């Protein structure tokens, strides 16, 4: 069980990095899930130096435990990478989610979106979603749980028959069997959300740790009737919507062919663009599309490492900022070192987007809004507007990180070195000692307090290995996914891929 956090005394406080200067020698006290006071100390606290700063938010993730290279998908672009997520039989959803959340929170994230696209199966969807919500409660994080919805194009970006025809004949039947979508009517997708809402409210502690959302997979994977129903349901219920958009150049090609009047205009026409919507990626969005997203108050979750790891590209973040978009950081389960390190992710995003030479495309204050503040809208929905988050001051949410400053600042020479510069230059998850979420200590001395993470990880590995041994068909399927990846290359590279769909 997580416990209410004791007061924290630290050598440095970054109350709002990039906006307010660091303060030396501070004591933070908590009152329930909020910060009660932040007061100066007359002398430096005894013991090793520590730094406190607000916790980070992850505006796009999927709560997957097993990482890309483990699954054999290293170096695959998104289109051939996606099938690799199915190389394992379904295993216990609580174990998967709890170990994923534990890794996230140890690396600095207390609020995250779970776009639950990888269903383990073996139980009704609502029961599986409840297991994920219990994992969030036990670890002590808050999740935006987006119920994944997809009713077409199971195998690729366009209709199944077209993609199947591009595969070698021996693959067509197994691929269709495993990946083709059996579409449900929109009402059934929405009924799952309503059933889950009731179930979350019925079990103590779950609603405090999860915000229910609609999670259409992407425009190429959802029919217009489904997207229209989601838009109407979100408008009526106020629940957020979370969706991928324009992640790869092939999705751009498909979008331009399928929606020649503009895919973002299309989303606007069907009523999906609103402050309730978060769009993951938008790596291939154009300036006029970004302008419309900004006008409608949509949040864009940029996944820098994921876009590099899956060879998707580099999102036009400076242009997004110029257009006035709300841009938030996502990790997408694909941090650069496959470790969910949010501090490292923040640095990588800054390095890529701050501008070259004397140009400035992103300021430290904008970086902080990106990494810690804007994502809360994606996780919490409208509740983020009434909560002060991503800043440490009385009345704000008590979500913070305590870093081992002696380890980070291990070669000090000057008294006036800005602690923010050290944080942005070298801060990593391994420097995080303690994490407080909603006023509770959820990580102490680098160890997750609410669950036995090493034991759960060991159990998950053992169960997954025995599930693989008991399902010999997965070895053949794994080989076929590799063959499919070989065949998808020429298909997507072929000139005018978008025209054939």
Nearer to Zn ion, 58 or 374 (CB): 58
In the complex, minimum distance from the CB of residue 157 to Zn ion, in angstroms, rounded to a whole number? 15
Of residues 378 and 480, the one with the C-beta less far from Zn ion: 378
Judged by CB, which is closer to Zn ion: 374, or 433? 374
CA distances from 140 to 6, 147, 202, 284, 366 (A): 16, 21, 19, 35, 27
Distance CA 357, CA 448 (A): 41
Cα-based distances in Å from 99 to 87, 90, 141, 194, 456: 19, 15, 12, 27, 7
Nearest distance from C-beta of residue 330 to Zn ion, angstroms = 7
268 vs 332 by CB, closer to Zn ion: 332
Stretch of residues binding Zn ion (CB under 5 A), selected from 208-216, 291-299, 328-336, 465-473: 328-336
> Strands 400-404 and 326-329, how do they pair?
unpaired
Kindly determine how many residues on this chain lie close enough to bind Zn ion according to the rule CB under 5 A: 1
Using the minimum distance from each CB to Zn ion, give the nearer residue, 116 or 497.
Answer: 116
- Min separation Cβ 216 and Zn ion, Å: 12
Minimum CB distance to Zn ion smaller for 51 or for 283: 283
Nearest Cα to 100, choosing from 130, 141, 157? 141
Residue 91's contacts (CB-CB under 8 Å, 6 or more residues apart) are 120, 460, 463, 464, 467
| 229: three-class secondary structure by DSSP | helix
Closer of 332 and 399 to Zn ion (Cβ): 332
Name which of 211 and 480 has its Cβ closer to Zn ion.
211
CB nearer to Zn ion: give 334 or 501: 334
Which residue stretch of 20-28, 91-99, 330-338, 462-470 sits at the interface with Zn ion (rule: CB under 5 A)? 330-338
Q: How far is the CB of 215 from Zn ion (least distance, A)?
A: 10
CB of 301 to Zn ion, least distance (A): 9
50 vs 115, beta carbon nearer Zn ion: 115
Q: How far apart are CA 26 and CA 44, in angstroms?
A: 8
What residues between 206 and 245 interact with Zn ion by CB under 5 A?
Answer: none
- Residue 117: CB minimum distance to Zn ion, A: 7
As measured in angstroms, the least distance from the Cβ of 146 to Zn ion is 10
Binding pattern for the stretch 282-321 against Zn ion, x by CB under 5 A and - elsewhere? ----------------------------------------
115 in helix, strand or coil?
A: strand
Q: What is the DSSP string of 28-59?
A: EEEETTEEEEEEE-SSPPSSS-EEEEEPEEES
Q: Which residues from 332-361 bind Zn ion, rule CB under 5 A?
A: 332
Residue 61 Cβ, how far from Zn ion at the closest point, in Å?
7
Taking CB under 5 A as the rule, which mask of x and - marks residues 36-75 in contact with Zn ion? ----------------------------------------
Stretch that binds Zn ion, among 69-77, 219-227, 331-339, 343-351 (CB under 5 A): 331-339
The interface region with Zn ion, picked from 262-270, 327-335, 387-395, 409-417 by CB under 5 A, is 327-335
Determine the Cα–Cα distance for residues 59 and 132; give it in Å rounded to an integer.
17
Q: How far apart are CA 211 and CA 209, in angstroms?
A: 7
Q: Which of helix, strand or coil describes residue 189?
A: helix
Task: Classify residue 110 as exposed, middle or buried by CB count within 10 Å of its CB (0-12, 13-18, 19+).
Answer: buried
Cα–chain center distance at 65: 13
**210-216 vs 142-149, strand pairing mode:** parallel
| CB of residue 303 to Zn ion, shortest distance in Å | 7
Cβ-based nearer residue to Zn ion, 92 or 332: 332
Alpha-carbon gap, residue 125 to 191, rounded angstroms:
11
d(CA 485, CA 497): 16
To Zn ion, the closest distance from the beta carbon of 374 in angstroms equals 17
Q: Taking the complex as a whole, how short is the minimal distance between the CB of residue 306 and Zn ion, in angstroms?
A: 7
Question: What values do phi and psi take at 432, rounded to 5?
Answer: -80, 120
Strand locations in 141-184, DSSP E? 142-149
Which helix (DSSP H) or strand (DSSP E) does residue 299 occupy? strand 299-302
Q: Collect all residues with Cβ–Cβ distance below 8 Å to 357 and sequence separation of at least 6.
A: none
Please check whether residue 245 is in contact with residue 282, taking contact to mean a CB–CB distance below 8 angstroms.
yes
Residues in contact with Zn ion, shown as a per-residue x/- string from 403 to 442 under the rule CB under 5 A? ----------------------------------------
Residue nearest to Zn ion (CB): 332
Binding stretches for Zn ion (CB under 5 A): 332
């Amino acid at each position: 069980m997580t416990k209410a956090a004791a007061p924290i005394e630290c050598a440095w406080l970054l109350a709002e990095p990039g906006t307010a200067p660091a303060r030396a020698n501070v004591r933070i006290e908590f009152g329930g899930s909020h910060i009660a006071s932040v007061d100066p100390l007359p002398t430096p606290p005894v013991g090793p130096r520590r730094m406190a700063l607000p916790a980070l938010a992850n505006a796009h993730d999927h709560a997957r435990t097993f990482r890309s290279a483990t699954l054999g998908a290293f170096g695959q672009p998104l289109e051939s990478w996606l099938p690799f997520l199915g190389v394992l039989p379904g295993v216990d959803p609580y174990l998967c989610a709890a170990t994923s959340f534990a890794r996230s929170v140890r690396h600095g994230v207390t609020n995250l979106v779970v776009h639950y696209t990888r269903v383990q199966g073996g139980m009704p969807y609502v029961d599986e979603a409840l297991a994920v919500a219990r994992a969030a409660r036990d670890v002590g994080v808050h999740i935006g749980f987006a119920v994944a919805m997809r009713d077409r194009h199971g195998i690729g970006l366009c209709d199944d028959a077209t993609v199947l025809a591009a595969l070698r004949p021996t693959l067509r039947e197994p691929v269709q069997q495993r990946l083709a979508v059996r579409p449900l009517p929109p009402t059934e997708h929405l009924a799952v959300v309503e059933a889950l809402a009731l179930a979350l409210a019925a079990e103590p502690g779950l609603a405090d740790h999860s915000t229910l959302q609609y999670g259409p997979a992407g425009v190429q994977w959802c029919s217009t009737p489904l997207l229209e129903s989601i838009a109407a349901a979100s408008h009526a219920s106020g629940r957020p919507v979370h969706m991928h958009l324009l992640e790869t150049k092939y999705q751009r090609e498909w979008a331009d062919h399928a929606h020649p009047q503009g895919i973002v205009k299309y989303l606007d026409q069907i009523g999906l663009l609103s402050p309730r919507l978060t769009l993951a990626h938008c790596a291939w969005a154009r300036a006029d599309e970004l302008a419309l997203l900004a006008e409608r108050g949509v949040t864009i979750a940029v996944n820098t490492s994921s876009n590099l790891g899956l060879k998707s590209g580099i999102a036009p973040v400076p242009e997004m900022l110029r257009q006035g978009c709300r841009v938030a950081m996502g990790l997408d389960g694909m941090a650069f070192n496959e470790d969910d390190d949010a501090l490292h992710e923040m640095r990588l995003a800054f390095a890529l987007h701050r501008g070259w030479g004397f140009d400035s495309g992103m300021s430290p204050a904008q970086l902080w809004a990106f990494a810690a503040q804007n994502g809360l809208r994606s996780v919490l929905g409208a509740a983020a507007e009434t909560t002060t988050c991503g800043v440490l001051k009385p009345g704000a949410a008590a979500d913070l990180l305590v870093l081992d400053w002696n380890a980070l600042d291990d070669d000090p020479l000057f008294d006036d070195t800005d602690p923010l510069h050290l944080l942005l230059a070298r801060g990593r998850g391994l420097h995080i000692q303690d994490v407080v979420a909603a006023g509770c200590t959820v990580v102490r001395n680098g160890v997750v307090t609410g669950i036995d993470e090493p034991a759960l990880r060991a159990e998950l590995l053992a169960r997954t290995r025995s599930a693989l041994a008991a399902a010999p068909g997965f070895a053949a399927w794994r080989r076929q996914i590799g063959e499919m990846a070989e065949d998808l290359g020429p298909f997507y590279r072929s000139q005018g891929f978008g025209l054939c769909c």
